[in-house]
Chains A and B, each alone.
Chain A
Amino acid sequence: AQSVTQLGSHVSVSEGALVLLRCNYSSSVPPYLFWYVQYPNQGLQLLLKYTSAATLVKGINGFEAEFKKSETSFHLTKPSAHMSDAAEYFCAVSDSAGRRALTFGSGTRLQVQP
């Protein structure tokens, strides 16, 4: 069984500040890990994914995440927040050899203050 824990349901940063959204996973097999972003009243858009290649993954809009097996973590970062980054962010896991349905975390709402 797989699970995802996102620490912090709300994160608030100032524009230009570092963004750090935390994600820890549990998986009995090597995981595939994803970050999705959901803007208000919209669907989910893939930001980045880890599929057992490089552990530091770069995504769209300046986001990146690092897979740390020893910490079972896949935290999302961005060096400098923009107002347009305000959204809901979801971490998700699927198993690399199975049915591939995504198991999502509970989401983190990012607020960016001017």
Chain B
Amino acid sequence: DTAVSQTPKYLVTQMGNDKSIKCEQNLGHDTMYWYKQDSKKFLKIMFSYNNKELIINETVPNRFSPKSPDKAHLNLHINSLELGDSAVYFCASSQSVSTDTQYFGPGTRLTVL
């Protein structure tokens, strides 16, 4: 069983479209994260939720909106996609906000044309 799963694995879309990426963890963790990996492999935190509450919101355009329907899921919705949004997006989870180890999903490669 995959501990942290993301769908879709690949997403190709046109500029201006709206798209969502889904993340689910079956580890029973309380805290979930979204990271963005750019074309130079640089990884940066975007958001973090703890028990469905937003606790980290980095300087991300408000076109990006995370939603956590329950603590096992953290979805990422992106409005009005731009070329610069092309990246690999990784979801991660940790047991709690004070736990150090984060477990990563396989990533979603978003390509905006």
> What residues of A have a CB within 8 angstroms of the CB of B101 in the complex?
34, 46, 49
Number of residues on chain B facing chain A (CB within 8 A) = 28
Number of residues on chain A facing chain B (CB within 8 A) = 22
Query: A71-114 toward B: CB 8 Å interface, digit per residue (1/0)?
Result: 00000000000000000101010100001111110110000000
Give the residue name and chain of the B residue nearest to A46 (CB).
B101
Q: Say yes or no for B97: interface residue by CB 8 A criterion.
A: yes
Minimum C-beta distance from A73 to chain B (A): 19
Query: B42-67 toward A: CB 8 Å interface, digit per residue (1/0)?
Result: 11110010000001101000000000
In the assembly, what is the distance between CA of A99 and CA of B42, in Å? 20
Interface residues of B (CB under 8 A from A): 4, 31, 33, 35, 40-45, 48, 55-56, 58, 90, 92, 94, 97-107
